[in-house]
Homo-oligomer: A and B are copies of this chain.
Amino acid sequence: MTTDPTARHYDREFVRTFFTSPTAVEGGDDSAKMLRSAARLRGMEAPDVWVPDNEDATAPSMREQGVENVVEVVSEHGADFPGEIHPRVVWHRDDPATRYAGFRQMLAMADPDGGAVDHLDGFVIPEVGDIDDWKKADEALTRVETEHGLDPGSLSMSVIIESGEAELAMGDIREEAGKPSNNLERLFLLVDGEVDYTKDMRGMTPTGELPPWPELRHNTSRGASAAGLIAVDGPFDDIRDVAGYRERMTENRAKGMTGIWSLTPGQVVEANTEPLPPASGYWLLDDGEGEGELRAEDERWVYDGDALGLEETGDGYVLRVDGREQELNADDLREELLRRAAYVPSMADMVDSMAEFEAAKEAGKGAIAMTRAATVEIDGVPVDIEADRMWDEATYQAAKTPIDLFQDVYEHRPDQHDALADRYGREVVERATELG
């Protein structure tokens, strides 16, 4: 029997949130304060992966204390923490001393005498280089496991991609992870670290904002897909810009990257919630200046912008787009609006569609048409539109991803069951968990 490298070796199929906490802060009487408050997070405020951060978030002078704090807080609170726990230690592809320091941090945190290791799922290794550097980190973990009598491969390894060579290495994982001379099967998350990546690539923008790096995110997502791992985007610095954070996550999901770094419990709530389907469906309309949400009112979907205009004439319609008018009959108008409109399905809609397709399949049908109708209103003129979409097995499989995500969350995060029920209603939650 061969092992399948794309089969995930971890319980979680998805990770929505990667939340870092400083391991030790100066001043005040408890340097572990931030760790302690993070360890008590529950429900939507608790991340899927919690990262006590003994690297960049913690001052170099505090990192020795940080190791002790991790041991203390994780051994005390780890059993009750609802997400996985993966401390970040120091590491650098270009500096053997830093690598050795990282090894010693891991060795100390995973010492069974401290009591934390039972609740540690793995470690996060920053600043990795090419695949040979990943192997060094893997070997450091193997030595930690051996030294402490842990099962080989029981500690996972997640890496932060913050250099060109690490980006290239993501193309090699699939080939390298199967070799008998390493334990790279322990890999779990591929996390982009855009601040240091920007430095390494020497990227510059006029305002100092981070470049968008779309290709990096694609390559991370692809590397994860090809090796059965999970892709996570880096930190979004402007924590007040919730709309921007959401936009970034929407973009990421279109790249297959479901997870994102969260810097605050507020960002954790956003990032835990956003990838899940909405509670209510709604229509979008492209008015020539971009896609905007229509407003629901009395069974109609109303357009409030002024880029589109519509007027009924005796024998048809005049549609105005960006100052240009076109005369249309009823059918052409419907066609035109259909082209501009799109529906964002709710969780209940998705469950209905999947169930309908599953029933059709059982009845021997390979493809069915799904219909979605609405009345759209522009300048007070109502127009009925109806969108058909053919569903076959492939459509069904691709549409299943949000449901897979939901089921993964539901299975692994009982602490979020109440929030999910509040959001969707118990009946929809129940049906969603039973699909597939």
A373 within 8 A of B: no
Segment 173-217 of A: residues with Cβ below 8 Å from B: 174-175, 195-196, 198-212, 214-216
A275 to B216, CA, bound (A): 23
Taking a contact as CB atoms under 8 Å apart, the answer to whether A241 and B339 are in contact is: yes
Chain B CB count within 10 A is highest, among A168, A339, A342, for: A168
Taking a contact as CB atoms under 8 Å apart, the answer to whether B366 and A195 are in contact is: no
Oligomeric state, in number of copies?
A: 3
Of B165, B215, B219, which is within 8 A of A174 by CB?
B165
A225 to B164, CA, bound (A): 6
Shortest Cβ distance from residue A398 to the other chain B in the assembled complex, whole angstroms = 4
A345 within 8 A of B: yes
Given contacts A202-B225, A205-B254, A218-B215, contact A324 B344 (CB under 8 A): no
A416 within 8 A of B: no
A305 to B215, CA, bound (A): 34
Closest residue of B by beta carbon distance from A162:
B394
A135 to B238, CA, bound (A): 46
Shortest Cβ distance from residue A24 to the other chain B in the assembled complex, whole angstroms = 11
Of B164, B202, B253, which is within 8 A of A226 by CB?
B164
Closest residue of B by beta carbon distance from A344:
B206
Residues of B within 8 A of A171 (CB): 168, 171
Residues of B within 8 A of A56 (CB): 392-394
Residues of A within 8 A of B (CB): 4, 6, 14, 26, 56, 59, 61, 94, 130, 163-165, 167-168, 171, 174-175, 195-196, 198-212, 214-216, 218-219, 221-226, 237, 240-241, 243-244, 250, 253-256, 258, 275, 284, 289, 304-307, 322-324, 335, 339, 342-345, 364, 366, 389-390, 392-395, 397-402, 404-405
